[in-house]
Structure 1
Amino acid sequence: MKPLGQGDPLRLGPYRLHGVLGEGGMGKVYFGADAAGRPAAVKVLLPELAHDGHLADRFLREARTAQAVTSEGVARVLAAELEGGRPWIATEFLAGPTLDDAVERFGPLDDAAVRELARSLARTLQDVHATGLVHRDVKPPNVVLTSRGPRLIDFGIARPEHGLTLTRTGQIPVTPGYGAPEQVLGRRVGPAADVFSLGAVLAFAAGGRPVYTGAEITAVLYEVVHGEPDLEAVPEGLRYLVMPCFAKDPAARPLPSQVADAAAAPRQPERLWKAGRLGEEIRQRESAARRLTARPTGPSAAPGDGTAGGNPRLTRRRLLLAAGGGALVAAGGGGTAWWLSRGDAPSDPFDIPPPAKVQAAQLGSAEGSPTPLWGPVENVADAGSPAPLPIRDVVVFAASGGGIAARRVIDGRERWRVGDAKAEAGYLSIGDRLVATADGEGTLRTWVAATGSPRWTVDAQVGALLAADAHAVYLLTSDGRLRCVGTDGKVRWTQQPPLALSGGHPVAALGASHLVLCTETGDMAAVRAQDGSRAWVRKGQAEGPLRPAVDGGIAYLGGRTLTALRITDGHELWSQDPTRPPRRGTYGWGPPTVAGGVVYALDCDALRSQHSDGSQAADPVMIAGVTPPWRPPVVQGNGVWIVESEDTGVTGLPRSGGNQRQTYALTGGQSRSIAASGNRLFVLNRTSLLALPVY
C-alpha cells in the first residue's frame, strides 16, 4: 500500500482514507475506514472518466442497483456517492484466500468442498439474478474463501439483465476461459452466462486447472465458442455437476437452483472452511485483518495518539502489512473489492520464516550428454527473462505473460507466481529467504522465496535492482540515483552515482562492503555499501555491461583486459590482455566468475582459469560456438558450465582443466542463460526451463 499523494482525497463520505491500494482501468482504489473502524475498499472513478457525465451516472447507477443484493454470499456494495465531482463506491473488506490462490497453494478441493462451493455460489447467483442483475465476471480470483463460506466479490461490475458491460475502449469485457460464448461474441447476456462461468469455476476447483486453455488469449476465446471443455482433471463423480453448465446454447444450461440441488452438498458445511491447511490459512488471514483494524485500548488510545474521533490508528507499519497481504481486483467495471490474499498474512511483515531446506541432487556422470533432472518445461518463461535465480528450494524467473514465477528445484512444478512484478527491473535473493522485486510503479516488494507469501514493501522508485545481501537491497532509482534499502524497510541512503547510470540497466556485484558497478557503456565504479560514497572509477574497461566478480576484497573485471583491483581503492593488482582485443563488441574477455579462489572467464574462444594472484590455474580449453554477449561461467560440482550460442547448447568442462566436456544440445538462438545451486544446473532457453545434473 502506498501513502496518499498530492491530489488524493483525505475523506470520502463516512470513510477516512489511509492509503492507496492501486489503480485499475476505471478508477483508483483507497483503503478506508468509517468512524466505527469498519474497513472498506473505496474506488473513485479516474478524473479523465469522471468528466464524462454519462459514464459517471452509469458508474453510480449500476453500483446502487447492486446494493439491492443482500445475499450473505456476496461482498456487498456499502455505499455509492458523488463527491467533489467524482463518483466513488465503497465495498466490503474480506479476509481469506481467493479460490485460485487456495488451489495453487493446497491443490484442488476435495469432493465435499466442491459440492459446497457449488451450492453456495449457485444460491448466491440465484439471489443476484432475483434482483434483475447478472454478475458477468464469475471466476476463481473473484471467489474468496472465508470461515463463513465462499463469498463472491467484485460485485460492483454486475449489470442489469441484458445490459451492456461498462468498460473502457479496447478492454476485453470477459475473462478468457470463464466468460460465456455469448459474452465472447459481444452479445447481450442474461443469467445463463453466470451459470457457464460457474461451471468453469467449479471445474477449476475440482481439477486444479482451467478447462479452456490456449497459447494466446484469442485461442482460449475460440475454444470457448467452438471447442469443448477439457474435464480430464475433474473427478468423474463431479463431471455430471459441471458438464451441463457448458452448453453453447444459454437456454440449455441449468438454472442456479438446479445446480445447487444437484450438488448434494454435505451437512454442516461450515466445518469445511475451518479444518485442515486451508482452514488454518483462513484463520490466519482473518486474525490479521482484525489486528489491522483493531481499536486501541488502554493508555495507547489516549488523545494525541492519532486516533481522533474514535478511529483506529493505522500506522505506516500496519499499512505495509496491508499492502504485503493484499490483492486488488479492478476488473474493468465500477466496483472492486480488496481482501487479504496471497501468502501467510503475517502479523508482522518483517517476521521472516527460516530458510527452506532442500537436499542437494546426486552428482551425475561426466560421460555422454546429461539427462535432465526435469523439463524442459515449455512456454513458461518470458523470452527476455534475466538469468534464473535459484533460492534454496525454488528457482525464480520472468514468467510468460508477465510477472515472475517460482518452480520447485526438485521437480520443476510451479510453486507460486506474482503477476504484478516488473521482471525487467530484475529480481534478487535477500539472504536466501526473500525475493526482492519491483512493480510497475517502482515499489520495492519482497516475497518469501519458498511460498510466495508477501512481506515488506517500500516505495523506493525502483528503476533497476542491482544487488542484495541479508541486510540490504541496492538499486538504481528511476531518475538515475543509487539507493540502499535496509531489510527493515527503511531507506538507508540515496546518492548520485560516480558515473551516469540512467538510460540502461547496469550490472553490479556486492562484496567486501562495496558495490561494484558496470554501466551500459562499459565504464566501472565502486561505491561504499555503508553510505554510497565513491570509492573509485575506471572508465573504458569494456565494450558494454559486463558483470564484475568480487572475492576476498578483490574485484575482478572482464572486457578489454581481465583485471584484478583492490576493492577499497581500485588499485590494480594484475591485468591480462585477451588473445584478441575487443572490436565492435566481439572478442576480449567475458564476465568473470570466482569459485574456490580461482577466476574463470572466457577469453575469445577459450575458457581460462587464473589464481587470485594472476597465475594460471589450469590449461586453457577451447570452446566452439561462443560469441558475445557472453554469460558468466557457472561453477557447480566438479565442472564449469558455459552458455554456447546458436544450436550448440550448454557445455560443462572439468574444473581441473583438460578437454573432456559434456554438452546438452539446445536450439533457439542466443536467448538463454544458466544458474546453479545444490548440484543442479538451471537452463532458461527462450521460453523453456529445465534442470540438468552436474558431475
Structure 2
Amino acid sequence: MTDGKEKWVLPDIDATARYVAMANGRFAAAESEGNVHVHDASTSERLWSASAGATCVLAADATTVFVGTADDTIRAVATADGHKVRWTEPLAYAAPVDTTAQAVAAEGHLVVASQDGSVTALRSGTGKEAWHRTGQTSDGRALRPFVDSGIVYLGGASLRACGLVDRAEIWREIGTYGPPVLDGADLLAMTAQDWGTPQPRLMSYDTATGDYDDSWLAVPVGDAAPLAAPVLQGSSLWLAEGGNAKGVTAFDRSTGRAAWTYRPTRGGTWRMTATGNRVFLLNAGDAVAMPVF
C-alpha cells in the first residue's frame, strides 16, 4: 500500500465470481471449479478451502462464507469445524442468485438484494427465511443493502429503513436512489429525484426519522447516479461522476462541498475502495492510490 508495486497474484481465482473481505486480514474467493478459498490478504497464503459448487461469493461474517450456486441457491460454508457446508437454501420466488446479486452478512442475518427487485433476509445460522419483499428496484439492477443496529437500509425504487428481524417499516422516502451508506447518524445516498436541477444529487438523511438534513449541502455529481455507494475515508467522501469516464470527486464529509476531481486519461467504469487512509481507484486496468483528508 506504500509504493503500488505488485505484491502477489492468484491466477487460479475466478475474479468474475467476486471476493469478499473478512476479519483478521483475510478474504474469501472462488475458482472456476466451484471451490471456496480463504486467503491471507497480506501474503496471499491459502488458509483453507472447501468444495461448495460456488459460482459467486456473496458475503461473509465471523463464522460463515456465503456463496451462490449454479442452481440459484445460497450455500453457507463454515469458517471452522472442518469448513463443512452448513446449509443450502433457495431464495423466495426463485429469485436469481448470481454475480448480479448484492448481499451483506450482519447481526445474525444474510440480506440479499436480487436484480428482480426482491430483497430477502435469511437467518445466518439456518438459512431459513426471516422475511422477503419485492419491488425494491424496477430497473433490473440489485443494490447492496446496509445493515446497522438492527435496521436494514435499502436503495432502489425508494430509500427505505426497516427492521432487520421483522422488516417492519421505520421510514421511507419515495424516489430513485443508489445504495446507501451510513456516516455516523446520517444516511447518505444518491438520488435521481428532481430537486430543482436535472442532475442527480447526493442526499443526507437522519437515520431515525428519514428527514432530509438541509444543513448538509447536497451536491450535483454528474449526469447519472452511480450504482456504487459513496466511499468514506478520513474526512472525505468519494463519488464517481457519471459512473464512468468523467472522473472521481472528493467531497468534504462535514459540508458536502467538492474538494477536487481526479480525471482519467482513459475511459472506463470506476471501482473504488478505501482502507489505511487511502482511497484506491480502478479504471480501465489502471490502479491509483489517492490521498485523503
TM-score (norm 1): 0.39
Shift of 1:647: 3.6
Rg larger for: 1
Once the two structures are superposed, residues 454-495 of structure 1 have per-residue CA deviations (whole angstroms, 9 ceiling, x without a partner) of: 121111000111101222101111211111111111211111
Match of 2:142 in 1: 545
Match of 2:211 in 1: 615
Partner-residue secondary structure (3-state), 1:424 = helix
Distance 1:503 1:652 in 2: 32
Alignment check: 8 A CA contact 2:219 2:256 kept: no
Once the two structures are superposed, residues 546-567 of structure 1 have per-residue CA deviations (whole angstroms, 9 ceiling, x without a partner) of: 1111111111001111100111
Distance 1:631 1:576 in 2: 19
Alignment of 1:287-298 (within 5 A): none
The one-letter code of the counterpart of 2:144 is: R
Match of 1:640 in 2: 237
Distance 1:471 1:464 in 2: 18
- Of the three residues 18, 25, 30, the one matched with 1:426 is 18
Shift of 1:515: 1.0
Alignment check: 8 A CA contact 1:511 1:553 kept: no
Alignment of 1:208-607 (within 5 A): 409-488=1-80, 489-499=83-93, 500-502=95-97, 505-542=100-137, 543=139, 544-578=141-175, 588-604=176-192, 605-607=200-202
Paired-residue identity, %: 35
The one-letter code of the counterpart of 1:592 is: P
Alignment check: 8 A CA contact 2:59 2:67 kept: yes
Q: 1:603 to 1:667 in 2, by over 3 A?
A: farther
Partner-residue secondary structure (3-state), 2:182 = strand
Tell me, yes or no, if structure 1 residue 653 matches structure 2 residue 251: yes
Distance 1:445 1:479 in 2: 20
Alignment of 1:127-206 (within 5 A): none
Query: Aligned residue pairs: how many?
Result: 278
The one-letter code of the counterpart of 2:272 is: I
Alignment check: 8 A CA contact 1:429 1:469 kept: no
Alignment of 1:48-87 (within 5 A): none
TM-score (norm 2): 0.90
Alignment check: 8 A CA contact 1:466 1:475 kept: yes
Partner-residue secondary structure (3-state), 2:62 = coil
Distance 2:225 2:127 in 1: 31
Once the two structures are superposed, residues 12-48 of structure 1 have per-residue CA deviations (whole angstroms, 9 ceiling, x without a partner) of: xxxxxxxxxxxxxxxxxxxxxxxxxxxxxxxxxxxxx
Match of 2:264 in 1: 666
- Of the three residues 276, 280, 288, the one matched with 1:690 is 288
Partner-residue secondary structure (3-state), 2:127 = coil
Partner-residue secondary structure (3-state), 2:27 = strand
Shift of 1:441: 0.6
Q: RMSD value over aligned CA atoms?
A: 1.7
Once the two structures are superposed, residues 262-287 of structure 1 have per-residue CA deviations (whole angstroms, 9 ceiling, x without a partner) of: xxxxxxxxxxxxxxxxxxxxxxxxxx
Shift of 1:503: 5.9
The one-letter code of the counterpart of 2:18 is: G
Distance 2:23 2:268 in 1: 31
Alignment check: 8 A CA contact 2:69 2:98 kept: no
Q: 1:626 to 1:691 in 2, by over 3 A?
A: farther
Partner-residue secondary structure (3-state), 2:257 = coil
Q: 1:669 to 1:627 in 2, by over 3 A?
A: farther
Shift of 1:620: 4.1
Distance 2:262 2:226 in 1: 20
Partner-residue secondary structure (3-state), 1:607 = strand
Structure 2 regions of 5+ residues with no counterpart? Answer: 193-199
Alignment check: 8 A CA contact 2:110 2:124 kept: yes
The one-letter code of the counterpart of 2:117 is: G
Distance 1:437 1:504 in 2: 13
The one-letter code of the counterpart of 1:552 is: S
Distance 1:493 1:431 in 2: 22
Q: 1:554 to 1:693 in 2, by over 3 A?
A: same
- Of the three residues 228, 236, 242, the one matched with 1:631 is 228
Shift of 1:611: 2.0
Tell me, yes or no, if structure 1 residue 676 matches structure 2 residue 277: no
Once the two structures are superposed, residues 131-172 of structure 1 have per-residue CA deviations (whole angstroms, 9 ceiling, x without a partner) of: xxxxxxxxxxxxxxxxxxxxxxxxxxxxxxxxxxxxxxxxxx
Distance 2:256 2:16 in 1: 38
Distance 1:658 1:444 in 2: 40
Structure 1 regions of 5+ residues with no counterpart? Answer: 1-408, 579-587
Match of 2:196 in 1: none
Larger helix proportion, structure 1 or 2?
Answer: 1
Partner-residue secondary structure (3-state), 2:16 = helix
Distance 1:561 1:601 in 2: 11
- Structure with greater contact order relative to length (CA < 8 Å, sep ≥ 6): 1
Partner-residue secondary structure (3-state), 1:428 = strand
Distance 1:603 1:451 in 2: 40
Distance 1:672 1:647 in 2: 8
Q: 1:530 to 1:596 in 2, by over 3 A?
A: same
The one-letter code of the counterpart of 1:630 is: L
Partner-residue secondary structure (3-state), 1:417 = coil
Q: 1:553 to 1:626 in 2, by over 3 A?
A: farther
Distance 1:466 1:504 in 2: 8
